[in-house]
Amino acid sequence: MSALKLPDFQLQAGTMAFLEKHPKSLFINNEWVAAQSGKSFETRNPATGDVLAEVALASEADVDAAVSAARAAFNGAWGQTLAGDRAALLFKLADLIDEHADVLAELETLDNGKPIRVARRGDLPYVTKHLRYQAGWADKIEGSTVPVTFPNQFVYTRREPMGVVGAIIPWNFPLLMAIWKLGPALTAGNTLILKPAEQTPLTALYLADLVKIAGFPAGVVNVLPGPGQPTGAAMAKHPDINKIAFTGSTEVGRKIMEAAANSNLKRVSLELGGKSPNVIFADADVSSAIRGAQWAVFSTAGQECVAGTRLFVERAAYDQVVEGLKTQVEKMVVNHGFAEKVHVGPVITEQQMTRVVGYIEDGKKAGAEVITGGNRVENLGGGYFVQPTVFAYQDDGISIVTDEIFGPVAAVTAFDDWDELITRANDTMYGLAAGVWTRDIGKAHRYAHAVQAGTVWINGYGMIDPAAPFGGYKQSGFGREMGKEAIDLYTQVKTVWVNTQ
Ligand code: ADP
């Protein structure tokens, strides 16, 4: 396996051992079990195209088994676990993740392609910060007393767990997405079935071992690798899953809602795609704004739901921004994630690379001007690399401007006045995030209020914190993850009436 012989990087012994010896089967009821169908799938290193591992594929029967285990845990040991004890287990899990962070980061880079520096300094520390933040809520989930109009009635509310939660996650931040769901779901007292993305199952499997070591009762966390069909779809329609927490494409989000509607009306929360507007006014600190705009698109090779892919520049600053962006982007090094110098890693799969290059070709045909990039990178072995690409455009209707590409492609345009800007910025089915760069504080807030997005960054882009609620407007989804709102997302309110007469 050439993935294990990266020329300029020595993998940790723990990473090698995991790749070579771990069963990579299904984790149900604290045991590693084979898929009932005997089926498996391959996960590949996007930097080389090589197969990293063969992983068991969960089908409907396996989903049934995992749901039974999760239900039994919810009705049994986990349901009896006191809030403070739940928190203690989650803190223990966070400590274990910290202990194993180097191996987890390497597995993330192997499976996802992101630069190892980013996995180590970005994903992993954030994973445990998030877990600890959420765990801290466990013994602070309060109800309220309600002053009703009837005499002699004492009314109070309780926030109760939903039951068995299914988490279906994407491949761009594999472990982080797993923990975004696991943290609040378990904190609130639910049990969990986690389906990692089929492109990146490795860190979720490693996490399952840590869950067991931490001492969670059997059935509290179950991990079912597999693709959307059959694994994800079987979860979405399962009659005994109470909630699906999903992060992924708007198209699949729609299917999950449909499956929920046609089965048991399970609760659904959706964190979906985006096509976020990032605005630079002429009065901004333009050089900071250019760097901000650059990373808003090209971190994680553009494979972020919040990517600031539509860049609006006030006409007076337009030439300066386009020139500056071109210079900056041309300094970015495209390489595999373990290389000493790398800014942009591969995209996740060959299929995704073909899709991204297809969009680039569509952009060219539609008359957008290539400022820089515009092709795949051919000379990096068998990996799936695309040049960081910047287009200049006028027509808001072309596909590079309307569609979420999920690759390193930015589209920049000039605007002349406020009304035009707000109309064009909001002219999208998405509403996940937005950015604005200006020294005028009033204008910054006016924009933040006018733009239809769940998160707005002023003179910055892309910051996310466990304490700050995060989620979409419009077809970018609903439900807020992180912050205390994440606990609301994984609980339901019960109202209790007491006759005091
Ligand atoms: P992306 O475009 O980021 O790959 P997807 O929405 O295709 O996002 O996938 C996100 C997650 O949804 C993955 O875990 C994938 O396996 C899962 N998935 C895909 N199709 C379905 C489906 N029909 N039902 C449930 N889950 C699905």
Q: Whose CA is nearest to atom 15 of ligand 1?
A: 228
> What integer is the mean pLDDT of 382-401?
97
> What integer is the mean pLDDT of 194-222?
98
d(CA 73, CA 310): 46
Residue 4 in this model has a pLDDT that exceeds 70: no
Residue 396 in this model has a pLDDT that exceeds 70: yes
Strand order in the sheet with 491-499: 145-146, 153-161, 491-499
* Helix spans in 58-145 (H): 60-75, 77-80, 83-99, 101-112, 116-118, 124-135
pLDDT at 458: 98
pLDDT at 7: 57
pLDDT at 3: 41
Q: Domain boundaries in the chain?
A: 19-36+46-272+478-495, 277-471
Domain 19-36+46-272+478-495: CATH architecture, name and number where available: 3-Layer(aba) Sandwich (3.40)
Is the CB of residue 248 below 6 angstroms from any atom belonging to ligand 1?
Answer: yes
Instruction: Count CB atoms within 10 A of the CB of residue 287.
Output: 12
pLDDT category of residue 6 using cuts at 50, 70 and 90: low
d(CA 215, CA 441): 50
- Please check whether the two domains, 19-36+46-272+478-495 and 277-471, share a CATH topology: no
d(CA 498, CA 415): 61
What is the percent of the chain with per-residue pLDDT over 90, rounded to a whole number? Answer: 97
pLDDT at 2: 38
pLDDT at 217: 98
Q: Give the residue among 62, 249, 259 at the shortest CA–CA distance from 172.
A: 249
Centroid of ligand 1 to alpha carbon of 312 (angstroms): 31
Is the CB of residue 198 below 6 angstroms from any atom belonging to ligand 1?
Answer: yes
Q: How far apart are the first and last CA of the chain?
A: 75
> What integer is the mean pLDDT of 376-388?
92
Q: Whose CA is nearest to atom 4 of ligand 1?
A: 170
pLDDT category of residue 5 using cuts at 50, 70 and 90: low
DSSP secondary structure letters along 428-494: SS--SEEEEE-S-HHHHHHHHHHS--SEEEES------TTS-B--SGGGEES-BSTTHHHHHTEEEE
Mean pLDDT for all residues in the chain = 97
> What integer is the mean pLDDT of 261-276?
98
Tokens standing for residue 72? 């039994």
Q: What digits encode the pLDDT tens for the residues 13-55?
A: 999 999 999 999 999 999 999 999 999 999 999 999 999 999 9
Pairing of strands 409-415, 310-314: parallel
pLDDT category of residue 9 using cuts at 50, 70 and 90: confident
CATH hierarchy code of domain 277-471: 3.40.309.10
Q: What digits encode the pLDDT tens for the residues 422-473?
A: 999 999 999 999 999 999 999 999 999 999 999 999 999 999 999 999 999 9
pLDDT at 150: 97
d(CA 174, CA 180): 10
SS3 289: helix
Strand order in the sheet with 310-314: 369-372, 389-392, 409-415, 310-314, 277-280, 433-437, 455-458
pLDDT at 236: 98
Is the CB of residue 233 below 6 angstroms from any atom belonging to ligand 1?
Answer: yes
d(CA 484, CA 142): 11
Q: What digits encode the pLDDT tens for the residues 218-264?
A: 999 999 999 999 999 999 999 999 999 999 999 999 999 999 999 99
Centroid of ligand 1 to alpha carbon of 256 (angstroms): 9
d(CA 147, CA 186): 31
Point out the ligand 1 atom lying closest to the alpha carbon of residue 195: 14
